[in-house]
Amino acid sequence: MSQAKHDVKDKNQLLSLIKKYPAGIAAVDLKDAYPNVMDDLQALKASKHIWFLSNADSQEDIAYPNDFKGQIEVDDEFKSLFRDIDIPSDLLDVEKELQKIGLKPVMNTAQRRAAAQIQGVSNKPKQKKKKQEISKRTKLTNAHLPELFQNLNASSSRN
């Protein structure tokens, strides 16, 4: 068994260690601490003492302490008021509403749209360029990659 990165013996010490890392600690760094550490991590997650998130880049789980101080209870009436607000989908309408209440919008959507039409900017996706075929010159400069030029040799021998 390899040497554990952190000297942790039980679930309470594990929770204390995770709380020392507000930016998160990798589960991989904890897995060798003691035999049931992964079960304890799942139990801490289930009891909402920690958050367990996966890092998209490295595909590893990271344990974050759950800070109960930042949690507040929001009244259901306030939530429904917030959800019932109708926000215009068009930015021009949003800018008009801002101007009605005396605020100046940061962007001028009308000018941006007019400039885009004048300059011929289209919303169409650009076409991809054709894949460049292997030429004889490439064959000469890349002699160290013979497997790339097998089809070139076959086509040049037919001519």
The mean pLDDT of 57-75, rounded to a whole number, is 81
DSSP β-bridge partners for residue 52: 63
Confidence of residue 53 (pLDDT cuts 50, 70, 90): confident
Domain that holds residue 29: 11-69
Q: Do 62 and 103 share a domain, yes or no?
A: no
Q: pLDDT confidence of 126, banded at 50, 70, 90?
A: low
pTM surpassing 0.85?
Answer: no
| pLDDT over threshold 70, residue 137 | no
Q: Is residue 125 part of a domain?
A: no
- pLDDT 10s digits, 13-37: 989 999 998 888 888 888 888 888 8
- 59 with 16, same domain: the answer is yes
CA 106 to chain centre: 27
Number of domains into which the chain is organized: 2
Summary mean pLDDT of the chain: 79
> 135: closest CA among 148, 126, 144, 122?
148
Q: How many Å is the Cα radius of gyration of the chain? A: 30
